[in-house]
Structures are given as C-alpha cells and as structure tokens.
Amino acid sequence: MLIFPIYGEGDFMVKVGNVVVGGRGALNLTGGLSIRNFDYVLELGELQFRFEGLLGGDELGDVINEIINQLGLGVFNAIEGFVHDAMAQTLEKLINLGLAVRTINIRIN
C-alpha cells in the first residue's frame, strides 16, 4: 500500500549546477597499474527538477515539483553521505577493472 501514490507522464528536466568533483588515491605499478585508497568529493551547489504531468499536472503537480525542489539538495547530501564509503569502494573497483584491461604498447626505435 502506497501512502503517497506518485505518478505522472511526460517530459522531465534535471539541472545540476556548481558541481565540485575531486578525488585522491594511491597508484600502484606492481604487477600492473592499479589504484588503492581511492576517495572522492562530490558537492552540488544547485539541484533543480521539473516533472511534467506529475499527478496529472495542474496545480497539485506544480506544488509537488516545488516541494521536490525545496528538498532535493538536502536529500542528495543526506544520501551521498550515507553511501559515500560504499560508492568510493565501488568506484575503486571499477577504475581498477578499467586499468586492468588497458595495455600500453611502447615502441623504441
């Protein structure tokens, strides 16, 4: 049973602004190139949404869109803080997977 049944049909827009992305880690060249102790920073200064046709459109859809926009950045920050460590570990694994499939061919004439 849904307490707040949210539905809609139509276009949507997500605007992300003032983004700061950074990271750090240690490169390892032993046995191939890899990264360890990876961490990242992801900060959003602006996050806006617009869902057309939300709850059938009209004024109620506009109100829900406004509420989503008021809460969106705070919700993102709360969720990012909660999943940060797991995300950093997953990104480290993905980076290392990408580094493992790359080969470097150097020709010296």
* Spans of all domains in the chain: 12-100
Q: Where are the alpha helices (DSSP H) in the chain?
A: 58-100
**Cα(81)–Cα(44) distance, rounded to whole angstroms?**
13
pLDDT for the residue 33: 87
Mean pLDDT per 10-residue segment, the chain (109 residues): 76 95 92 91 95 86 92 94 96 91 63
Single pTM value for the model? 0.69
pLDDT for the residue 102: 58
